[in-house]
């Protein structure tokens, strides 16, 4: 959880990797899955008409989705 919080606050991927002993690929996979979950929660919030909650999930996606974690390919 601290890793995701640091990432969303703008820490570099290197700094985030130094916070844990988890493999880099596992960190990326977890963040991508979290983004997918947030998208689903955003859609569910929209469906029930809770725009405040929808906006919060959208903001979470915006903060999470950046840099190498969401690059189209890691083989650049």
Between the alpha carbon of residue 57 and those of residues 24, 60, 66, the distances in Å are 25, 5, 16
Per the CB < 8 A criterion, the answer to whether 55 and 63 are in contact is no
Q: Looking at residue 31, what is its pLDDT?
A: 94
4's tokens: 């995701």
DSSP string, 17-74: HHT-SS-HHHHHHHHHHHHHHHHHHHHHHHHHT-HHHHHHHHHHHHHHS-GGGG-S-S
Q: Looking at residue 74, what is its pLDDT?
A: 60
Above 70 in pLDDT, residue 76?
no
Residues 20-65 have pLDDT tens digits of 999 999 999 999 999 999 999 999 999 999 999 999 999 999 999 9
Above 80 in pLDDT, residue 75?
no
């Amino acid at each position: 959880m601290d890793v995701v919080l640091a990432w969303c606050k703008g820490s570099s991927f290197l700094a985030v990797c130094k916070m844990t002993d988890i493999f880099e690929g596992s960190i990326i996979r977890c963040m991508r899955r979290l983004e997918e979950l947030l998208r689903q929660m955003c859609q569910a919030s929209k469906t029930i008409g809770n725009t405040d909650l929808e906006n919060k999930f959208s903001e979470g996606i915006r903060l999470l989705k950046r840099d190498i974690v969401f690059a189209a390919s890691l083989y650049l």
